[in-house]
């Protein structure tokens, strides 16, 4: 039996999809950077105004239902649910139509993503043994921010093998699943069974409606907003009041959306992804970053102090080094134990570059920092996440930029240019 090519060539349809997501996410990455810079500037130049804005409340309380939240809370629990809805659509699509439907294909990105989450967590724990408060943030360096990662790839240029980019997307999908499970299980402090049961009923009702009238929702965005969206909002509100982090509602709702194997490019799941991705990349995630990334730097001494604590060093080391070891090491392990091979056009340095790129942790890392740590330690962790993500992006740009030049030279040689 011939060995399975770990990073295999992809179909033209799959590559068109990857290219489309690359273009959208690169714009989202730029907006994410802009929102982060705006938050840092406002938090340090006008801290009182920034705090007032974050803590402005909006909503209502009705009996046991609590929905009177601060703007920062709405961004983290509400708007970010759109991001997780898209992650859920990606997950379901990969399980139904993509690489994850085939165990032999799924094994590599699953193992790479699992190792890419486990190794950074272990590195973080090693730096924070004995500090019970910091240890609650063990999952902060576990996630990869796909928007930033794809933005870096887009800036490098387009000569890197398409299989490498597809592998990054598949790995990120599994990475999102791991992060969702961590948030749902690891950071649920208390549970209200009645609200949870109500949320599951609402999710089931949403699933029945979108399946029954999927053609209507596929044709009409207005029908989606008037019929399906209110059901989804009810499910989100009930899950929020159950004690489970409300962003999980986005994933549960996405899992109920039908993905049709006989019409992969023109079905409701693809249409919803097409409609909502600009909302997520252009509004939900940047606004979350604006409310979450604003940390007081405290001058040069303050930054130096914050970045030399066990908490910060654990995060930076875990993201910059642990991700590389986890992703590249997990891929290598599968190729040895399963007798799989890399595609002949690829080298292990490409996988290492992908691992470095995986060290860009942002959206989910910031969210977990807020969930796991008290406010002062959360700011310290966020500063470390920002520093590590910047360093990982710079290193990835160097490594993959050199590989991009290598592949461009090969293309030029092949065409005689």
The candidate with the shortest Cα–Cα distance to 88, out of 334, 242, 216, 252, is 252
Can you tell me the distance from the alpha carbon of 164 to that of 179, in angstroms, rounded to the nearest whole number?
22
pLDDT in tens, 316-333: 999 999 999 999 999 888
Residues counted in the chain: 417
Label residue 415 by pLDDT band (50, 70, 90): confident
Measured between alpha carbons, how far is residue 417 from residues 160, 345, 363, 410, 412 in Å?
A: 18, 20, 42, 10, 5
What is the average pLDDT across 252-265? 83
pLDDT in tens, 287-326: 988 998 888 776 555 566 667 788 999 999 999 999 999 9
According to the model, what pLDDT value does residue 152 have?
Answer: 78
pLDDT in tens, 66-86: 999 999 989 988 998 998 898
* Residue 119 in this model has a pLDDT that exceeds 80: yes
- Signed CA dihedral, 31, 37, 38, 39: sign only: positive
According to the model, what pLDDT value does residue 25 have?
Answer: 59
Identify the weakest region by mean pLDDT among 120-129, 345-354, 380-389: 345-354
Q: Which two tokens stand for residue 277?
A: 């991705």
Above pLDDT 70, what percent of the chain? 86
Above pLDDT 90, what percent of the chain? 37
Q: Which two tokens stand for residue 51?
A: 């705090």
pLDDT in tens, 127-154: 999 899 999 999 999 888 876 777 777 7
pTM: 0.80
User: Tokens 């629990």, residue?
Assistant: 77
According to the model, what pLDDT value does residue 306 have?
Answer: 62
Can you tell me the distance from the alpha carbon of 150 to that of 274, in angstroms, rounded to the nearest whole number?
17
Higher-pLDDT residue of 248, 105: 248
Per-domain residue ranges of the chain: 12-187+245-415
According to the model, what pLDDT value does residue 228 have?
Answer: 93
According to the model, what pLDDT value does residue 98 have?
Answer: 73
User: Phi, psi (5° rounding) for residue 342?
Assistant: -70, 155
According to the model, what pLDDT value does residue 20 have?
Answer: 58
Angle, to 10 degrees, between the axis of helix 268-279 and the axis of helix 12-45?
A: 30
According to the model, what pLDDT value does residue 238 have?
Answer: 95
According to the model, what pLDDT value does residue 83 have?
Answer: 86
Can you tell me the distance from the alpha carbon of 259 to that of 268, in angstroms, rounded to the nearest whole number?
7
Higher-pLDDT residue of 170, 383: 383
DSSP per residue, 251-308: HHHHHTS---TTSTTSSHHHHHHHHHHHHIIIIIHHHHHHHHS-----HHHHHHHHTT
Are 224 and 217 contacting, i.e. CB atoms less than 8 angstroms apart? yes
Can you tell me the distance from the alpha carbon of 24 to that of 162, in angstroms, rounded to the nearest whole number?
17
User: Phi, psi (5° rounding) for residue 231?
Assistant: -65, -40
Are 403 and 349 contacting, i.e. CB atoms less than 8 angstroms apart? yes
* Residue 279 in this model has a pLDDT that exceeds 60: yes
CATH, range 12-187+245-415? 1.20.1530.10
pLDDT in tens, 54-63: 999 999 888 8
What 3-state DSSP class applies to 367?
Answer: helix
According to the model, what pLDDT value does residue 197 have?
Answer: 95
* Residue 115 in this model has a pLDDT that exceeds 90: yes
**Strand locations in 23-125, DSSP E?**
57-58, 61-62, 65-66, 69-70
What is the average pLDDT across 216-234? 93
According to the model, what pLDDT value does residue 156 have?
Answer: 73
């Amino acid at each position: 039996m011939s060995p399975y090519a770990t990073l295999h060539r992809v179909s033209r349809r799959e590559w068109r999809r990857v290219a489309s997501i690359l273009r959208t996410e690169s714009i989202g990455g730029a907006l994410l950077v802009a929102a982060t810079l705006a938050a840092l500037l406002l938090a340090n130049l006008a801290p009182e105004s920034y705090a007032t804005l974050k803590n402005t409340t909006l909503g209502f309380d009705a009996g046991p239902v609590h929905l009177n939240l601060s703007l920062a809370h709405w961004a983290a629990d509400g708007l970010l649910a759109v991001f997780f809805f898209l992650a859920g659509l990606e997950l379901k699509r990969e399980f139904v139509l993509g690489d994850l439907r085939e165990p032999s294909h799924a094994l590599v990105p699953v193992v790479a993503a699992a190792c890419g989450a486990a190794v950074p967590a272990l590195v973080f724990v090693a730096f924070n043994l004995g500090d019970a408060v910091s240890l609650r943030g063990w999952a902060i360096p576990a996630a990869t921010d796909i928007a930033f990662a794809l933005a870096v790839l887009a800036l490098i240029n387009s000569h890197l093998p398409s299989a490498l980019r597809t592998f990054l997307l598949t790995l990120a999908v599994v990475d999102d699943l791991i992060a969702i499970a961590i948030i749902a299980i690891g950071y649920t402090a208390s549970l209200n069974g009645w609200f949870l049961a109500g949320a599951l009923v609402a999710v089931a009702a949403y699933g029945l409606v979108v399946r029954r009238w999927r053609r209507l929702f596929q044709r009409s965005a207005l029908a989606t907003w008037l019929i399906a969206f209110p059901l989804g909002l009810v499910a989100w509100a009930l899950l929020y009041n159950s004690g489970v982090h409300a962003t999980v509602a986005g994933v549960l709702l996405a899992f109920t959306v039908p993905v049709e194997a006989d019409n992969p490019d023109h079905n409701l799941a693809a249409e919803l992804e097409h409609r909502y991705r600009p909302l997520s990349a252009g509004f939900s995630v940047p606004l979350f970053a604006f409310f979450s990334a604003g940390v007081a730097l405290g001058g040069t001494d303050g930054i130096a102090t914050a970045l030399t604590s066990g908490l910060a060093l654990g995060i930076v080391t875990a993201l910059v080094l642990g991700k590389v070891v986890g992703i590249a090491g997990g891929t290598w392990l599968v190729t040895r134990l399963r007798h799989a091979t890399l595609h002949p056009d690829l080298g292990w340095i490409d996988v290492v570059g992908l691992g470095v790129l995986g060290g860009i942790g942002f959206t989910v890392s910031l969210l977990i920092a807020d969930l796991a740590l008290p406010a002062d330690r959360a700011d310290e962790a966020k500063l470390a996440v920002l520093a590590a993500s910047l360093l990982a992006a710079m290193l990835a740009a160097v490594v993959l930029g050199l590989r991009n030049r290598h592949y461009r030279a090969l293309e030029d040689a092949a065409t005689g240019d």
